[in-house]
Chains A and B, each alone.
Chain A
Amino acid sequence: MGRIYSIGGGKGGSGKSFIAASLGILLAKQGKSVVLVDLDLGASNLHTLLGQRIPQRGLDAFIDKTTKSLEDVALSTTIPNLHLISSTKCSLEIANLFYAQKLKVINAIKNLPFNYVILDLGPGINFNTLDFFLIATEGLFVATPEPTAIENTFIFIKSIYLRKLKLALKEANMWHICQEEVAKLSKGAVKSPLDLINILVEKNLENGTAFRDLLSGLKFSLILNKFRGQVAEDLGEQLVEVCNRHLYPGFDFLGNISYDSRVYESIIARNIFIQKYPYTKTVSDLQNMARRLAGAIQQPIQIKASK
């Protein structure tokens, strides 16, 4: 069983697919077997970032039972060791996956025989996205250093926690208790998973703290993409600190990825950026990240420029 990383974040266009593809390539170059799973259902385009035509087979074959195992539709790419499970061929209504189908896909992903499984998710906070995100052993949030993206990232993170909590409560047959309590709240809506936990603890339910521990145990990392000079160098660390303090501990800052306009150009030209421009700051940032994920080296010491 390999490690599963999911790449998400509330906002579209923050570079999730680009980072998924780049990290996949870099990990594959280390000699590990890697599979990229395109779970941006209905809007999948990971293959384009890998410089490939629309794949002939993908997730659809697994869902409509043409093939028995998900591994069969993991197509090899131009990069050795790197495989891709695409969802381009799925029907246009695939975004609204049935519950049973979703469970089947989730279980299959968990059992994929690769060193690294990287899940590329779509924007937004619908249940499919959240459930796929929660498959991972470690979730990676991608944000850009802009107010809009950071806002959406917080919403995404809270939704993840709430989803996890809700599933756990349902499993423990306690969801109805919470629902009664939530109905008593002034607006009848849960805004933050913290509220729910507080309800549980206040009502002195013995499992209240257990649920808190469950959420504290989730492991997340933050990536700031399209990083430019005018943003404060320590924004990422500040964000992680805030999350650890005000949500649940378990956040880590993975690093900044420098902005490079050639990323855009190479996507348009359907080139693979990290192969075409291997000696750029952007690629070395990605390289550091891939090494950290592989656990080879610790993060290099960052020398902060004095303000």
Chain B
Amino acid sequence: MTKKFNDLNYYELFKIPYNASSFEVRQAYKNILAIYEESSLATYALFAEDERKTILSKIEKAFSTLIDDEKRTAYDKRLVDVGEIPKDLLTAQERQKTIPLFQANTAVTKHNNLARIRKKIKEKGKGKLASALLNRDFISGQDLKNLRESLGIELEEVFEATKISPTALEAIERDDITNLPPKIYLKSFLKSYAEVLQLDAKQLVDGYVKNVEKR
């Protein structure tokens, strides 16, 4: 015996499992609205004005409950109390959490990458090589490259962390004057580079620029 429409709980109304993710809730909401909204071809002849209003308000209420974590937990508890869903169903299956797409791609990996670089610097200890480099009046790209490689950091990791294009980074490390970016960009690039390798930015920029102008 199937339930009457009015007796359906929110999950049955939306036709989703009890552990549905918020993405599924949203999707189901969209689908059910398409059936019951006023302009829908499927139902316009079936319901009177007030019947439709009650149905739509129930759908809205269901959506606002299921999409809100707090309200949903409270609602789930109520369903368990009434005996509509078995208790172990809630504890057994954790509700699937979603990760927003933009975070999954950038923020997380960027964070991991920086942390990895920090760890490498900490392990090897930039120590003498770094201070020797900064004490020089003229700092060449080769010096930077040597320092980076001695720390075991890949060029790609610098790119990941700074988003400076690899060709620009290579030009800097090769002292390739014709391919270097304009001076104003060069300075800010060097600053970012220094920050990644945890060097004093001002000293590095001054030394490098002097070295370039010397030629």
**Chain A residues with a Cβ under 8 A of chain B:** 145, 147, 150-151, 154, 209, 212-213, 216, 231-232, 234-235, 238-239, 241-242, 245-246, 249
Nearest CB in chain B: distance from A300 CB, A: 22
Q: Is the CB of A154 within 8 A of B45?
A: yes
Give the total of B residues in contact with A, Cβ under 8 Å. Answer: 12
Give chain B residues whose Cβ lies under 8 Å from the Cβ of A232. Answer: 34, 41
Q: Is the CB of A147 within 8 A of B43?
A: no
20 contacts between A and B (CB under 8 A): A145-B41, A147-B44, A147-B45, A150-B41, A150-B45, A209-B1, A212-B1, A213-B1, A231-B41, A232-B34, A232-B41, A235-B41, A238-B34, A238-B43, A239-B42, A241-B35, A241-B42, A242-B43, A242-B46, A246-B46
Give Cα A246–Cα B3 distance, bound, in whole angstroms.
10
Known: A234-B34, A235-B42, A238-B35. 10 other contacts (CB 8 A): A147-B41, A147-B45, A150-B41, A150-B45, A151-B45, A209-B1, A238-B34, A238-B42, A241-B35, A242-B42
Give Cα A151–Cα B34 distance, bound, in whole angstroms.
18
Whether A242 contacts B41 in the complex (CB less than 8 A), given A209-B1, A216-B2, A249-B2, comes out as: no
Give Cα A234–Cα B44 distance, bound, in whole angstroms.
16
Nearest CB in chain A: distance from B50 CB, A: 15
Give Cα A216–Cα B2 distance, bound, in whole angstroms.
9
Q: Which 8 A-B pairs have the closest CB atoms?
A: A151-B45, A238-B42, A238-B35, A239-B42, A154-B45, A249-B2, A245-B5, A242-B42
B135 at interface (Cβ–Cβ under 8 A)?
no
Q: Is the CB of A154 within 8 A of B46?
A: yes
Interface of B is mostly: loop
* Binary A-proximity of B1-18 (CB < 8 A = 1, otherwise 0): 110010000000000000
Give chain B residues whose Cβ lies under 8 Å from the Cβ of A209. Answer: 1
Q: Is the CB of A242 within 8 A of B35?
A: yes
**Chain B residues with a Cβ under 8 A of chain A:** 1-2, 5, 34-35, 40-46
Give chain A residues whose Cβ lies under 8 Å from the Cβ of B45. Answer: 147, 150-151, 154
Give chain B residues whose Cβ lies under 8 Å from the Cβ of A213. Answer: 1
The residue from B1, B5, B34 contacting A246, defined by CB atoms under 8 A apart: B5
Give Cα A147–Cα B2 distance, bound, in whole angstroms.
28
Q: Which among B34, B35, B40, B42 has the greatest number of chain A C-beta atoms within 10 A?
A: B42
Give chain A residues whose Cβ lies under 8 Å from the Cβ of B40. Answer: 238
Q: Is the CB of A150 within 8 A of B5?
A: no
Nearest CB in chain A: distance from B5 CB, A: 5
Residue of A nearest to B13 (CB): A245
Nearest CB in chain B: distance from A191 CB, A: 10
Nearest CB in chain A: distance from B52 CB, A: 11
Nearest CB in chain B: distance from A168 CB, A: 18
Nearest CB in chain B: distance from A161 CB, A: 14
Give chain B residues whose Cβ lies under 8 Å from the Cβ of A242. Answer: 35, 42-43, 46
Q: Is the CB of A150 within 8 A of B42?
A: yes
Give Cα A212–Cα B4 distance, bound, in whole angstroms.
12
Give chain A residues whose Cβ lies under 8 Å from the Cβ of B34. Answer: 232, 234, 238
